[in-house]
Amino acid sequence: MTTIVRNLQLVRDRITTACFAAGRDPASVRLLAVSKTFGAEAVADAMSDGQRAFGENYIAEGVAKILALQARRSALEWHCIGPVQSNKTRLVAEHFDWVQSVDRLKIAQRLSEQRPAQLPPLQVCLQVNVDGGSNKAGLAPQDALELAQQVAQLPRLTLRGLMSIPEPAINFVAACAVHARARALFDQINRSGVLPAPMDTLSMGMTADLEAAIHSGSTLVRVGTAIFGGR
């Protein structure tokens, strides 16, 4: 058993334990393995233990890995979770399955226009800066409903939910409080009735705070260090 496989199993155990503690079905939380700065061989190692969804922060690096593993493309789900600049939207639209970091209408419009017609719609989450952290990307919570409505109307995109990366919290209770804000916003947008279909994905929680995120309603946790090691 490799270190990555062993780590994957430990992370899955953490997710299961956190779900039981929150009174949730472990099947309601997906694991996204964040493979940034690690090569295609590390992704293949994780694949050997059944992991299929991978997240990349750096677009060019992610595309290189996608191409390196092209022979197994149909078995993989690639998520862009880093900032997307206008000059990189075509790469994202042509190669990724998901983009979780949309925070401007202009970027969403470009992704929609550049998504190849032969590919399924690009799955999209809006990145929201729930705690107002000065070093974090994402739109302000009060702007999320309007952007969600606009993105949901674009062709070649499917709005799936919200993503957040709050500043590190001092303890479990504080982390839960911040994640609860994202959950409340997610519920508010779904209740608004302005979307053609309810959002189903709340992407929050990483290595240090996945338990708090799951307690607060996360449906997808993004874990890198606990699987692949320090960067």
pLDDT tens track for 159-181: 999 999 999 999 999 999 999 99
Decide: 212 and 172 in contact? Cβ < 8 Å.
Answer: yes
Question: 54 pLDDT exceeds 90?
Answer: yes
Write the pLDDT tens digit of every residue in 64-94.
Answer: 999 999 999 999 999 999 999 999 999 999 9
According to DSSP, residue 115 is labeled: S
Stretch (H or E) spanning 131:
none
Give the confidence band of 231 by pLDDT, cuts at 50, 70, 90.
confident
b or e along 101-136 (b: 16 or more beta carbons within 10 Å of the residue's beta carbon)? Answer: bbbeeebbebbbeebeeeeeebbbbbbbbbbeeeee
- Residues 53, 31: Cα–Cα separation, whole Å: 7
Question: 63 pLDDT exceeds 80?
Answer: yes
Stretch (H or E) spanning 192:
helix 172-192
Question: 97 pLDDT exceeds 90?
Answer: yes
User: Which pLDDT does position 134 carry in this prediction?
Assistant: 67
User: Which pLDDT does position 64 carry in this prediction?
Assistant: 98
Question: 230 pLDDT exceeds 90?
Answer: no
Give the confidence band of 131 by pLDDT, cuts at 50, 70, 90.
confident
Question: Which residue, among 66, 46, 60, has the nearest Cα to 4 in the 3D structure?
Answer: 46
- Architecture of the domain delimited by 3-228: Alpha-Beta Barrel (3.20)
